[in-house]
Amino acid sequence: MNDLLKIENLYINFRTLWGVAKVLNGINLTIKEGEIFGLVGETGCGKSVTASTILRLLPSNAEVSGKVLFKGENLLEKSEEEMRKIRGKEISIIFQDPMTSLNPLFKIRDQMVDVITLHNNLSKEEAEKRAKDLLEKVGLPDPERVLNSYPHELSGGMRQRVMIAMALSSNPSLLIADEPTTALDVTIQKQILKLILELKETYGFSVLFITHDLGVVAELCDRVGVMYAGNIVEIAPTEELFENPLHPYTQGLLSVVPDPRYKKKLKPLRGSVPSLLNPPTGCRFHPRCDYAGDLCKKEKPELIEYSPDHFVACHLYGGNSE
């Protein structure tokens, strides 16, 4: 499979009133064509910032360096005009909160037609027909009724389906799903995940799936990247990651997933997430790591391929310049 998106050495700093927040600390990742890549991590570890960077939607106080290669072209060097043609057409995003992602004042029809005509050279009637098709594809049985509704007349699950339909309206090659199920009921969550999987099979786009829910990752993703405090600490195929986690943080994460079959006590990670204004030196995880040594305090570990397709950034697994 070819690489669709390649992020190389991406650093992002936010200038804030309290100092410079080092939000992304040189991340590297690749999303292949037709795969679902999961990005997991705690709140504030940089998952959503990564998504915003790909679409170049960062606030103006962000400083960016590195490369975001999409189909071989660096998105960070594109003009605003060129980016506008990529957003929604080549790369689409669906957001966490479907309740507020639609403009409350317009009917679904107007909003969908707007988006469809934006990137496709279609008349209003053709766009409406397209909208109906899309709504049917995302499993809304009465598209005409949905088109005539205002957002508040639809349930959360229906709205998220509408958002997905809008995101797919121009056949994007990459769909970024930024915690698309977090705000939904568990049963609806399951339906939406299934839908994304089916649509991916039909249309063949790639998905960058951002979540903090390891259960969702296990169910959906082909490969997973684990983020901690602005770093990618481990990337592996999903099964491999769950069976053979290498990084102490990943191991910690997996050990706190409750298993209803056994009544065992969960072993939480000690300490808490560091402030990005003043992150720990060396490996950002070292203050919470049981295995941390002197090297971890001094030097940032690089992401290395420990076994085929399994990458880890940890001094335990060597591969450092020393």
| Interface contacts to another protein, rule CB under 8 A | 55, 57, 60, 83-89, 92-93, 95, 97, 100-106, 114-115, 118-119, 163, 166-167
Cβ neighbours around 231 below 10 Å, total: 25
Task: Using alpha carbons, select from 233, 219, 231, 204 the residue that is nearest to residue 313.
Answer: 233
Residue 24 has phi, psi (to 5 degrees) of -120, 130
Q: Residue 166 Cβ, how far from another protein at the closest point, in Å?
A: 7
Residue 293 structure tokens: 């040594």
What distances in angstroms separate CA 255 from CA 37, 77, 157, 240, one per listed residue? 22, 41, 31, 15
Q: In the complex with another protein, which residue's Cβ is closer, 113 or 235? A: 113
Q: Is the distance from CB of 178 to CB of 94 less than 8 angstroms?
A: yes
Tell me how far, at minimum, the Cβ of 59 lies from another protein, in Å.
Answer: 10
Closer to another protein at the Cβ: 119 or 130?
119
The least distance separating another protein from the CB of residue 45, rounded to whole angstroms, comes to 20
Nearer to another protein, 17 or 266 (CB): 17
Under a CB-based contact definition with an 8 Å cutoff, are residues 216 and 280 in contact? no
Order across the sheet with 223-228: list the strands.
91-94, 174-178, 206-211, 36-40, 223-228, 231-237, 310-312, 304-307
Between 90 and 234, name the residue whose CB sits nearer to another protein. Answer: 90
CB-wise, 76 or 295, nearer to another protein?
76
Name the minimum Å distance from CB 314 to another protein.
34
Residue 290 CB, nearest distance to another protein (Å)?
Answer: 40
